[in-house]
Amino acid sequence: MNAVLFLFFQRMRLPLITLITAYAVATVGFTLIPGVDDQGEPWRMSVFEAFYVVSYTGSTIGFGEVPYEFSQAQRLWTIASIYLTVFAWLFGIGSIIALLQDPTCRQVIERARLQRGVRRINEPFYIVCGYGDAGALLTGTLSSRHQRVVVIDSDRQRIDRLTVEDLGASVPAFCMDAREPAHLIEAGLRSRWCAGVLAVTGSDQTNLKIAITSKLLNHKAAVYARADRRATADNMRSFGTDHVLEPGVEFCRRLRLALTAADAFRLHHWLSSGPHASLPGTQMPPRGRWILCGYNPLGQALHQTLESLGVDVTVIDSGTEKENNLLPPGSVLGRGTEAPTLEEAGIRSAAAILALTRDDADNLSILVTARELNPKLFLAARENTGANHLLYEAAELDFIGRPSLVVAGSILSQISSPLFQTFIDLIEAEENEVSARLLQRLGHTTDEGPPQVRTVRISHRRSPAVSRALDHGETVLLEALCRDPRHRQALLPVVPLLLQRGDESWLCPEPDTALESGDRILFAGPPSAGPQLDKLLFMDRALRYVRTGEDHPEGWLWRRYRDHQNSSRSRVQ
Amino acid sequence: MNLGKVVFGFFVLLALTLNFGFFIGDIDNPDHHNVYELFAALVVGLIATVMKLGERSQIGAVLLASSLVVDLHLIAAAVIWVVAVHVTEVGLTPAVMASIVSLSGGALLANLLSVVLLTMETSSINR
């Protein structure tokens, strides 16, 4: 605000001084020019009368010649003062308009408005750096979950796109370079409500800068950063970035799961691919020979994973990038978009093809050509820009890898529950059978969209009702938290995935597990189950009802009435 | 030499001198206090205020505040003059004149403070 005011006054100095001077000169002039009063006597205006005349003349109101008819000399001066004051006004008003039109000034006003917006947030909020595909998905989902979000992007067009989007809550969107620490502070990095910084720009260097800035300036905020290169990821971890998201590593992980434990892959992919994810089909990639187009860092990582799983891989790469001298033996040089190259790589005997180039048109062309040559192929591609998603959908591929979706999905799962990563690690170590059973149970609970995960903590602050019951020496079973507080016979559509007590974690805890203070439970269920679960955690009455079936009124008056009834009943007996 | 500083110092000082010129003389004698001098003091005071607007320094803020005090005093004095002469038509009685001049005396103090502050700032820059 101050900046705007200062800018205004600095620019308005000259017009204001001009205006004051013009009025002063005109006023003094009127007091000096001789006139004639109604009696014909010589008369001169007082300062007050002169100022009165100048005031209505200058503002172009014009009451005429008061208090007496002007002499010719006075009329001459009136002409002079009209031009003087009117032009002074025009100059002043023109300056104000020019100032408001000035890009610098508009930027300052806009920034001040946004900063006010950020300062006014009095609940935890996240700073999303980079409003690309991942940033847009994160912003939209967090807003729909009633989380406040602040967005920074250096691209004006993206910010404009965000401004016209209906997100439910107001999202302050700064158009500035997130690499500057001052800009991050402006976006609220130092605010005590800043819960986390999500660095999801397309550039590793920018994400790195954001991560280190956030870590240094606000050690309480969690930092989630995307890193496409191994070196960047290691660098980020070295200074304690809370969550480093490597799309490449994540793809390798999912590919390995898909090839070894199909249901674990389906569960993982379903739960951590954003709010619009659908459960992947049961058709899993075959274990025959694979063809991999594009030997870029992602290609290399996937190649390594496949080799380690004992899968035979043929690489096709144009060899234009500098990695070409590292191409594995037996590779085919070429783009892969033409039939001869694909034939050379043995497309007809291959089981699957991965199109991983950085060009969406190339990827689609590779896959369509490949399908023509061998209709039974398993087709998978990397989608580079979200704008081309429709094309990939239309191509009817078996698997579409979307780096931005993987990043956003992982961040969302981790934001909604810090236990999620532990759960995924455990699930991967388990037999496929466990995931299959979980999938079956979760499939029952959710009609649309993937289930949402949340952590419940047994503590006085997070679940007072459960905590109080435990303090009274009562036993609360895990099963109680899965019952509907409206009809205790019915079950809430939530599935406890994990129970953590101290350093120990149990996957799929039994319903008759007795809860203890300090337990942390990971639940999965539709968003609509959240409020019901909250009732059980916060309301003694609801919890007692699902545990015992007794529904006692809670209010003071009702309690008195009940006590009275009980005592009179015992007296009769 | 900075022309901006010269102009700025000129107006601050001129506001003080004009104010003093109006203030000096018997407090209740209208002959000792010229209306043009009050008018000039007011106009110069307003210009000095505008020049101080938009100063970001701490001393600039105090200068602006003292300038606003000057304007307030002188406008009050001018309003009393107008009311006495043109509205109630009691004329410039010694009582009216005394209140006008004492108001301008208040403005004089604030103007003096402005000049002192300006001098202090200037000397601190030189050191």
Mean pLDDT of A304-309: 86
The answer to whether residue B35 neighbours chain A at the CB level (below 8 Å) is yes
Cβ A13–B81 below 8 Å, yes or no? no
For B46, the closest chain A residue by CA position comes to: A20
CATH topology agreement for domains A106-245 and A288-397: yes
For B45, name the nearest residue in chain A, comparing CA atoms only.
A20
B127 touches chain A (CB under 8 A): no
Residues of chain A contacting B, Cβ within 8 Å: 6-10, 12-13, 16-17, 20-21, 23-24, 27-28, 31, 46-49
Please tell me the predicted confidence (pLDDT) of residue A448: 67
In chain A, where the domains are located: 2-101, 106-245, 288-397, 420-556
Residue A49: list chain B partners with CB under 8 A.
86
How distant is the Cα of B18 from the closest Cα of chain A, in angstroms? Answer: 15
Q: Find the residue in A nearest to B38 (Cα).
A: A47
* Nearest Cα residue to B57 out of B122, B10, B12, B127: B122
Option in A6, A24, A47 nearest B54 (CB): A6
Chain B, window 76-95: residues with a beta carbon less than 8 angstroms from a chain A beta carbon: 81-82, 85-86
**B54–A8 C-beta distance less than 8 A:** yes
Query: Is there a contact between A27 and B51 if contact means CB atoms under 8 Å apart?
Result: no
Distance from CA of A58 to the nearest CA of B (A): 17
Q: What letter would DSSP give residue A523? A: E
Query: pLDDT tens for residues A12-40?
Result: 888 999 999 999 999 999 999 998 988 88
Q: Which residues contact A456 (CB under 8 A, 6 or more apart)?
A: A462, A463, A481, A520, A521, A523, A533, A537
pLDDT in tens, A66-117: 888 888 899 999 999 999 999 999 999 999 999 888 888 888 888 888 888 8
Q: Is B8 buried (19+), middle (13-18) or exposed (0-12) by CB count in 10 A?
A: middle
For the cut 90, the answer to whether the pLDDT of residue A449 exceeds it is no
Q: pLDDT class for A331, splitting at 50, 70, 90?
A: confident
For A106-245, CATH gives: 3.40.50.720
Which of B8, B35, B39, B86 best probes binding to A when mutated, by most A CB atoms within 10 angstroms?
B39
- Residue A1: pLDDT over 60: no
- Beta-sheet pairing, A399-401 with A378-382: parallel
Residue A21 one-letter amino acid: T
Q: Which residues of A touch B81 (CB under 8 A)?
A: 48
Instruction: Provide mean pLDDT across the span A176-187.
Output: 90
In A, which residues are within 8 Å of B36 by CB distance? 28, 31, 47
- Which residue matches tokens 């209306």? B35
* pLDDT (mean) for A533-554: 81
State pLDDT tens for residues A506-537: 888 888 888 888 888 888 888 888 888 888 88
**Record: contact A9-B53, CB cut-off 8 A:** yes
The pTM assigned to this predicted structure is: 0.72
**A203 in helix, strand or coil?**
coil
A290-293 vs A194-199, strand pairing mode: unpaired
Q: Which fold has domain A420-556?
A: Alpha-Beta Plaits (3.30.70)
Taking the C-alpha atoms of residue B94 and residue B97, their distance in angstroms, rounded to an integer, is 5
**Tens digits of residue pLDDT in B72-123:** 999 999 999 999 998 888 888 999 999 999 999 999 999 999 999 888 888 8
Q: In terms of CA atoms, which chain A residue is nearest residue B40?
A: A24
Name the minimum distance, in Å, from the CA of A7 to any CA of chain B.
7
CA end-to-end span of chain A, whole Å? 76
- What residue segments make up the domains of chain B, in order of their start? 3-126
- B54/A24 touch (CB, cutoff 8 Å), yes or no: no
What is the distance in angstroms between the Cα of A270 and the nearest Cα belonging to chain B? 57
**Quick one: pLDDT at residue B107?**
95
Neighboring chain A residues of B53 at a CB cutoff of 8 Å: 9-10, 12-13, 16
Q: How many residues does chain B have?
A: 127
Residue A495 near residue A442, CB atoms below 8 Å: yes
Residue from the list A17, A46, A48 with its beta carbon closest to the beta carbon of B51:
A17
CA of B94 vs chain A CAs: smallest distance (Å): 20
Q: List the single residue in A with minimal CA-CA distance to B48.
A: A17
Question: pLDDT at position B43, please?
Answer: 94
> Across the beta sheet with A378-382, what order do the strands follow?
A332-333, A313-317, A290-293, A352-355, A378-382, A399-401
Q: Which residues of B touch A21 (CB under 8 A)?
A: 43, 47
**Cβ contact, residue pair A6, B56, below 8 Å:** yes
CATH code of domain A2-101: 1.10.287
Q: How many CB pairs under 8 A join A and B?
A: 45
- CA distances from residue B6 to A138, A315, B3, B14 in whole angstroms, order as listed: 57, 78, 5, 12
Q: How far is B8 from chain A (nearest CA, A)?
A: 12
- Percent of chain B scoring above 70 in pLDDT: 96
Which chain A residues have a beta carbon less than 8 Å from that of B77? none
Taking contacts as CB-CB distances below 8 angstroms, the residues of chain B near A10 are: 53-54
Q: Does B39 touch chain A (CB under 8 A)?
A: yes
Q: How confident is the model at residue A571 (pLDDT cuts 50, 70, 90)?
A: low
Give the chain B residue whose CA is nearest to the CA of A7. Answer: B54
Distance from CA of B23 to the nearest CA of A (A): 18
CATH class as words, domain A288-397: alpha beta
Sheet of strand A452-457: strand arrangement: A452-457, A520-525, A495-501, A504-507
From B46, B47, B54, residue closest to A10, measured CB to CB: B54
The three-class DSSP label of residue A452 is strand
Residue in chain B closest to A19 (alpha carbons) equals: B47
Looking at residue A208, its pLDDT comes to: 93
Q: What is the mean pLDDT of residues B13-35?
A: 92
Check whether A553 has a pLDDT greater than 70.
no
Q: Which residues lie closer than 8 Å to A149 by C-beta, 6 or more apart? A: A125, A126, A127, A128, A138, A139, A142, A143, A167, A169, A171
